[in-house]
Amino acid sequence: MSVDFGPAGIPFMTEKEYNETFEIHKKSSSPSAWNPRSWGRKRWAGALLGAGIIVTAIVVPLKVARMNRYPSYSKLEYSLVDTYSGESFFDSFEYGNGTEATHGLTNYVTKEGAEWSNLTYATSSQAIIRVLPKDSTGTAGRPTVKILSRQRYTHGLFIFDIGHVPHGCGTWPAIWMSDTDPDIWPKHGEIDIIEAVNQGNKGAQFTLHTTDGCEMGVKRKQTGKTLSNNCLNSTNYNMGCAVRGAPGSYGERLNDKKGGVYAMEWRTAGIRMWFFSKNEIPPDIESGKPEPSEWGTATADFPSTKCDINSHFKNHRVIINISLCGDWAGAPPVYREEYGCPMECAEYVGSVPEAFEDAYWAINSIRVYTAPNS
Residues with a known catalytic role = 190, 195
Q: How far is 276 from 263, CA to CA, in rounded Å?
A: 8
Handedness of CA 172, 102, 336, 206 (dihedral sign): negative
* CA proximity to 346, closest of 99, 25, 86: 99
Burial class (CB in 10 A: 0-12, 13-18, 19+), 82: middle
Query: Strand locations in the chain, DSSP E?
Result: 79-84, 93-95, 106-108, 120-122, 127-130, 142-144, 146-153, 156-164, 171-178, 190-195, 205-209, 225-226, 241-244, 260-267, 270-277, 300-303, 316-324, 360-370
Question: Under a CB-based contact definition with an 8 Å cutoff, are residues 172 and 328 in contact?
Answer: yes
Exposure string over 292-325, b if 16+ CB within 10 A, otherwise e: beebeebbbbbbbbebebeebbbbbbbbbbbbbb
In sequence order, the β-bridge partners of residue 273 are: 264, 300
Q: How far is 335 from 316, CA to CA, in rounded Å?
A: 30
| CA 191 distance to own-chain centroid | 7
103 φψ region: left (φ > 0), alpha (ψ -120 to 50), beta (else): left
Q: 236 in helix, strand or coil?
A: coil
Q: H/E element holding 57?
A: helix 41-67
